[in-house]
């Protein structure tokens, strides 16, 4: 996944994800929630990270917005608690490596959207520096570091396009996908804070399970799958952010197969009957002023 673009410069892509299914099972004493989630990578929606290794220990991160007109109001602050910088520091501490790096991050994935952008950037940094610094840490160690950085980070370390996540979301199993899923992703003007959404969710210990979704992803045909999609975080997100309700209603009015919020929002997706329908839906959303819209056909 690392591609060399100049004598001392490498580039890697950090894909987004959508949660096709997310059930909050229970609150935990450690402040997290046990969840059951089916996550799917969206390879054509990806941040890119350019790495220039440094022999001294200095670390520098710069961030550029690929679509300032759509993401302009959503600037990502570069502070020490940025997940990419935390990933670098963690690797330096664990390995005792004294090398540094300059990282240029180009954001295409909107933040505070439930699309996993920050988590994916951090995972990509771990994988890239493990290689560029010659650390040879095994996958298991990278997964452990990833889980410390955030519940969604291990998903982006593992190679599989679709995975079932349990525990906090960090215990992963690959899921085979045969269905082709034409999706429109959209994010309203305002985002949502993951801790705030989790705080106001109602766990569903007896709720629907991911099993049916996993089985149906292995077959063609979208309608049975659509009936099994679920997100326990959607009701609290709708309470916290009325733009989520409006966006889901917009999707519904277009006669898509189904619509749902991803992760803790505020981005939502429409599962469409065809890529052609996805293009029409996306065009209408853009025309009605939705600031960020993306079409992807996750044909796997």
Helical segments of 63-210, H only = 68-71, 83-95, 117-132, 139-149, 153-157, 194-199
Name which of 145 and 181 has its Cβ closer to ligand C5P: 145
Stretch that binds ligand C5P, among 84-92, 193-201, 240-248, 273-281 (CB under 6 A): 193-201
Name which of 32 and 286 has its Cβ closer to ligand C5P: 32
Query: Which residues are known catalytic residues?
Result: 17, 152
Contact call for residue 193 and ligand C5P (CB under 6 A): no
Residues 34-73 that bind ligand C5P (CB under 6 A): 35
Question: Nearest distance from residue 147's CB to ligand C5P, in Å?
Answer: 8
From the number of C-beta atoms within 10 Å of its C-beta (0-12, 13-18, 19+), residue 263 rates as: buried
> How many Å apart are CA 64 and CA 105, to the nearest integer?
6
Closest CA to 16 of 173, 206, 187: 187
Tell me the backbone φ, ψ of residue 181, rounded to 5 degrees: -120, 95
Q: 76: which DSSP letter?
A: P
Contact call for residue 117 and ligand C5P (CB under 6 A): no
Stretch that binds ligand C5P, among 13-21, 57-65, 146-154, 176-184 (CB under 6 A): 146-154
Contact call for residue 99 and ligand C5P (CB under 6 A): no
Stretch that binds ligand C5P, among 30-38, 105-113, 128-136, 202-210 (CB under 6 A): 30-38
Alpha carbon of residue 80 to chain centroid: 21
Interacting residue with ligand C5P among 2, 9, 32, 104 (CB under 6 A): 32
Interacting residue with ligand C5P among 151, 259, 260, 262 (CB under 6 A): 151
Task: Name residues whose C-beta falls within 8 Å of residue 222's C-beta, 6 or more positions apart in sequence.
Answer: 179, 181, 257, 271, 273
Contact call for residue 169 and ligand C5P (CB under 6 A): yes
């Amino acid at each position: 996944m690392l591609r060399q673009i100049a004598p001392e410069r490498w580039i890697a892509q950090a894909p987004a994800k959508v949660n096709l299914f997310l059930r909050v099972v229970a609150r935990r004493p450690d402040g997290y929630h046990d969840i059951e989630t089916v996550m799917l990578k969206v390879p054509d929606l990806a941040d890119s990270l350019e790495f220039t290794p440094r022999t001294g220990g200095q670390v520098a991160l710069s961030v550029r917005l690929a679509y300032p007109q759509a993401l302009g109001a959503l600037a990502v602050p570069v502070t020490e608690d940025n997940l990419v910088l935390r990933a670098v520091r963690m690797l330096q501490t664990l390995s005792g490596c004294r090398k540094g790096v300059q990282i240029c991050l180009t954001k295409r994935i909107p933040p505070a959207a439930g699309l996993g952008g920050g988590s994916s950037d951090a995972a990509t940094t771990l994988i890239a520096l493990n290689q560029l610094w010659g650390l040879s840490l095994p996958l298991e160690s990278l997964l452990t570091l990833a889980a410390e950085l955030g519940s969604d980070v291990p998903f982006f370390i593992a190679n599989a396009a679709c995975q079932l996540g349990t525990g906090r979301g960090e215990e992963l199993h690959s899921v085979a996908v045969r269905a082709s899923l034409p999706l429109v992703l959209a994010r309203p003007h305002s985002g949502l804070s993951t801790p705030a959404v989790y705080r106001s969710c109602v766990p569903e210990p007896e709720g629907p399970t991911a099993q049916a979704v996993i089985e149906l992803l292995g077959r063609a045909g979208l309608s049975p799958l659509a009936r099994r999609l679920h997100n326990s975080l959607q009701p609290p997100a709708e309470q916290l952010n009325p733009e989520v309700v409006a966006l889901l209603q917009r999707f519904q009015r277009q006669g898509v197969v189904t619509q749902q919020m991803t992760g803790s929002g505020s981005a939502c997706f429409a599962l469409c009957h065809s890529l052609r329908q996805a293009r029409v839906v996306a065009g209408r959303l853009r025309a009605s002023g939705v600031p960020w819209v993306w079409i992807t056909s996750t044909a796997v």
